[in-house]
Structure 1
Amino acid sequence: MQHRMGVGPLLDARGRLVERGYATSEVRTYDRSAIKAGALRIKEWDYYCILTPRFGLALTVADNGYLGFLGTSWLDLEQKTATNHGAIIPWSMGKMKLPASADSGDISQRKGDLELSFRHEAGGRRLTVNDPAFANGKGLHGELWLDQPDMDRMVVATPFPNVPKAFYYNQKINCMPARGKITLGEETYQFSPESAFAVLDWGRGVWTYNNTWYWGSASGLVKGRPFGFNIGYGFGDTSAASENMLFVDGKAHKLDHVTFHMPEGAPDSALWKFTSNDNRFEMDFAPIINRHQTTDLGILKTAQDQVFGLFSGRVILDDGSQMTVKDLPGFAEEVRNRW
């Protein structure tokens, strides 16, 4: 079953989801003050990943209750390397004031010398990074503009079994063409909208302590047409709707359930395979880089394997037509949390 949500508030007076399901726009209104769970259980983040066939940038601003996090990552797909840097903000618990909407409200955060800003402007978004300590002092600096034409996105409201006040409200905006320059040390990298595409992962919710999720995403051009997808599962009660969706020419095509067939052993050791129960998504994934990162603070621990590489396969759209995908840059991940 794939239930499409209507318009209205996200939570009722008891702090529970009014409606569970999916949408292709921000139909439900998030209000942190309507949450009835404790502040330590609230998790909020904005994560951008901008990829080209040669390199990429990932930027994170997160308020996870116990701590906030600012993160920068540089991905070199030719050299097969990933470099991460970040700063922790203890006991953030809403003090970072992340916006209640993915469509309005700016983010400007600084911890030490690390500065990140995500700003809305007419027609798109402007991302700015200033991280002098990145890569042992090389520094990472620059600004990217993301075009956001009128297009569909993936929106899902997911409850957690047996925890009535827990939920996850998530939006993924794929296929945003990117332009601008990022300087790493003495080298400057040019992002152009013909080859650079961004995805936004916007998450707000009340999470359970121990969970694991699987997520995959890709955006680009397939035979000159804007194409992307969002796939994932692993947490919550997805009986009302999955988060699996294709995007072609700005229009969403809803999928049912997708399964990740990961290689045994190291996640970057062999091809991944993906299949859907409706036979509309069959994809191979050739790993290039594993952006592995573990934060272990005892009672709190996050371990992620975010593997970047190339997707190849076939998809079937809502009208029954088929598209063939070859070497589309993207990523797939497994993230394990105790938070």
Structure 2
Amino acid sequence: MTSTEREITEPVDLCLSSGRLNRAAVGWTRSPLHRTAVTGWGRTKRWEYWGVVTPTHVIALTVADLDYAAQHQVWVLDRVTGVEVDTVAVVPLGRGVVLPASSGGGPVRAHAKGLDITIDDGDLGTRLRAATGRVEVDLVASVPEGHESLGVVVPWSDRLFQYTLKDVARPVSGTLVVDGVRHDVPADASWAVLDHGRGRWPYSMSWNWGAGSGTVDGLVVGVQVGGRWTDGTGSTENALLAGGRLHKCSDELVWEYDRADWLAPWHVHDQARERVDLTFTPFHERASRMNLLVVAAETHQCFGTWTGWMADDAGTRVRVDGVTGWAEEARNRW
């Protein structure tokens, strides 16, 4: 299904004073224009997720306040050995977490037993620092001149809604230390992706998300695709980033993959294959499961390489062959 989405070009409040959705906020942006303070308690979700792919490692930093608890994570994959180093902290009622109301509006902090994450925006970009008993991260994700990002408001109802900011293809550099061994992160071959979310969710929800970043034939390319959670809302989170310019795709996409074999190729495309025709080939699956009866989650996040194409606003097909990133399925009761 193709929807017609409105591009928002001026700052706007996500919520009314009542805490309900401001319908004037429904649409998409090329830069973070939404003021996303969400008032009240009850299934309000706020998070910052940074995924970083280097030639040798994959790094994921999560700071999340889910109302009933905060959940923070520092996860590192050695791409050569396949070994994961994972540190998770769950803090009841979100004590000690600091998250700005809006993107770029202040520092991000997570301090818990065995884990510290600090994220700060500055003149050079976003500095990402994290420390656990085995891992130290110190990176800067730069913002190239003219770089655009995708902001979208997804309206399930006036009471339930989500603002998502997906910022792909951010060049990143710095250092990673794992078990005392230092690894340099080269800016010319490493990429960061931000998933910034603020909203109030239904109790049960599933989604697909795919992202990738890289250089293809001298052009910096970013892939951003999603599905399931936006279906039927009139909003999508699909876009191509080419040379820093965002090209929005309003088609609901078809996701084809084998839940019995997560490492088999995934296929993502629009119905007519006129705007998006992608294949994702995984090299590693990161699986997580949690079931506390009332609250449960299952995620399969696969890391790999994208091939195929996405069309720009003029209809020109832009190849994404060799772009590295991930594709995932998540199912949550929260």
Partner letter of residue 11 of structure 1? Answer: C
Percent pairwise identity: 27
Question: What CA distance in whole angstroms lies between the structure 2 residues aligned with 1:332 and 1:210?
Answer: 20
Partner letter of residue 128 of structure 1? Answer: R
Which digits, 9 at most, give the CA deviation of each residue in 1:236-282, with x for residues without a partner? 565432110000111100112222111241322x1111112361211
* 1:158 matched residue in structure 2: 154
Q: Is the 8 A contact 1:3 1:240 kept in 2?
A: no
Partner letter of residue 338 of structure 1? Answer: R
- 1:72 aligns to 2:68 (yes or no): no
Question: What CA distance in whole angstroms lies between the structure 1 residues aligned with 2:135 and 2:31?
Answer: 33
Question: What CA distance in whole angstroms lies between the structure 1 residues aligned with 2:98 and 2:91?
Answer: 13
Q: Is the 8 A contact 1:179 1:193 kept in 2?
A: yes
Partner SS for 1:273 = strand
- 1:27 aligns to 2:37 (yes or no): no
Q: How many equivalent residue pairs? A: 325
- 1:307 aligns to 2:302 (yes or no): yes
Q: Is the 8 A contact 1:10 1:28 kept in 2?
A: yes
Question: What CA distance in whole angstroms lies between the structure 1 residues aligned with 2:313 and 2:137?
Answer: 39
Partner letter of residue 156 of structure 1? Answer: V
Question: What CA distance in whole angstroms lies between the structure 2 residues aligned with 1:285 and 1:239?
Answer: 26
Matches for 1:1-339 after TM superposition, within 5 Å: 1-7=4-10, 8-18=12-22, 19=24, 20-33=26-39, 35=40, 39-92=41-94, 96-132=97-133, 139-149=134-144, 150-160=146-156, 163-236=157-230, 238-255=232-249, 256-268=251-263, 270-277=264-271, 279-339=274-334
TM-score (norm. length: structure 1):
0.91
Question: What CA distance in whole angstroms lies between the structure 1 residues aligned with 2:232 and 2:84?
Answer: 32
Q: CA offset at residue 78 of structure 1?
A: 2.5
Question: What CA distance in whole angstroms lies between the structure 1 residues aligned with 2:38 and 2:246?
Answer: 28
Which digits, 9 at most, give the CA deviation of each residue in 1:61-103, with x for residues without a partner? 000011101101112223234332211101228x624101212
Question: What CA distance in whole angstroms lies between the structure 1 residues aligned with 2:162 and 2:137?
Answer: 32
TM-score (norm. length: structure 2):
0.92
Q: Is the 8 A contact 1:53 1:329 kept in 2?
A: no
Q: Is the 8 A contact 1:6 1:28 kept in 2?
A: no
* 1:136 matched residue in structure 2: none
Partner SS for 2:236 = coil
